[in-house]
Amino acid sequence: MLNPERTIPPTAWMKDRAVQVVFHALTDTGAVDPQVLFVGGCVRNTLLGLPPGDMDLATVHKPEAVTRRLEAQGVRVIPTGIDHGTVTAVVDGKPFEITTLRRDVETDGRRAVVAFTDDWREDAARRDFTINTLLADADGNIYDPTGKGLSDLETHRIVFVGDASQRVAEDHLRILRFFRFYALYGAGTSPDAAALAACRGGTDKIGTLSRERITQEMVRILMVDHPAGILGLMFENGVMRDFVHPEYQALRLNALAKLQNMYAAPDLAARMAVAANAQPNWVDQFDKYIVFSNALRGDLILILKVLAAAANMKAHEVIYRFGNRAALQAHLVHHAMAGTEPAASDVDVLKNWRAPTLPITGDDVMKAGVERGPDVGRILKTIEEWWIAEDFRPNESACRARVKDEAAKL
């Protein structure tokens, strides 16, 4: 029998109608043991006073029964991970990921073959960290199937369930997950020695993971409040030392993160620019571990381009040529790498000044008597450069007058 270790007042999200619908559908009247419980992050975060995040649940019912029970209540069910026992229920527009209790049959460090079970402790035994095994029902009852999750959460200890080396051998991605969780929840504590030893022992296996899975974790690690500290701990333990440029300096990355947090402008591409020591040729090195989206690669390349081009440009020109986001992030990267503080007024301009549109077009040039052809583009470019040099002050009338002057020179 699984008994609650603690009861908290039900939170607003626990009392939500959508939650009640799911629990009602998956709970038999008179059942002694729980049949469906929240698991992992939403429980952990609630106990820490944080927003719950994604709503993940575990259940004794097999996927087919989960689907049948929910659909009988008019709930839309999506078979998002049916092979591993996971479906997603959507109630009132809110998604709930529901997974049948499982035990590992076979693992190879990248994927697992699982079998379903109705044993909550058996399911907990296959999870990564004790703080991720915590369970809760909609009445605020908290369950701790390993007997260690609550105490480890209260003392900020990130500890693998059972034997750390075995957990890492089952899924090598847990190496990166350990460092991410330690960065987020291990404040004020030393990293667990057994966990570090297991991570060190598995470093040569990281290369067997898909880059997509590595990307998910590394993006989150880079975006913690103090990324350099956790990266340093990873590198000290032999984990992905070649991710950063040889001349990368940890102080610069933390300085950038501090500036981004100060100005409410967190940005992954800028942090990667510092990891690359602002060297464009290092971008391809990230491909060893990271799967770039087109947007992320474009953002990173643009920030590096601004860093190289903007030294002799005024802020308004940088914004006009590259956009507010790239202009701001390049500015913050520049100061982080130089060890200086940007002026708040400069940051305000880079965040909030909106570049105007050139008041004239090629049609205006042709109306001034210039025939369609290369002269139109040349004059338009000349006017634009003059307009930028005048800090965008000349209005349409002034620009038209300048067009006539340039046309007269032909």
Residues 158/205/281/340 CA torsion (nearest 10 deg)? 20
- Boundaries of every domain in the chain: 1-154, 162-242, 244-355, 362-408
- Label the pairing between strands 135-136 and 112-116: unpaired
33 has a pLDDT exceeding 90: no
144 has a pLDDT exceeding 60: yes
Compute CA distances 18 → 54, 74, 98, 129, 281, whole Å: 14, 12, 14, 28, 50
Do domains 1-154 and 162-242 share one topology? The answer is no
pLDDT for position 258: 97
The token duo for 66 is 């989960």
pLDDT for position 113: 67
Confidence bin at 107 (pLDDT 50/70/90): low
Confidence bin at 111 (pLDDT 50/70/90): low
pLDDT for position 273: 98
The token duo for 360 is 């004239």
For residue 81, give the H/E element and its range: strand 76-81
109 has a pLDDT exceeding 60: no
Percent of the chain with pLDDT over 70: 98
Question: In terms of CATH, what superfamily is 162-242?
Answer: cca-adding enzyme, domain 2 (1.10.3090.10)
| Predicted structure pTM score | 0.88
Q: Does domain 1-154 have CATH number 2.40.50.180?
A: no
For residue 24, give the H/E element and its range: helix 17-26
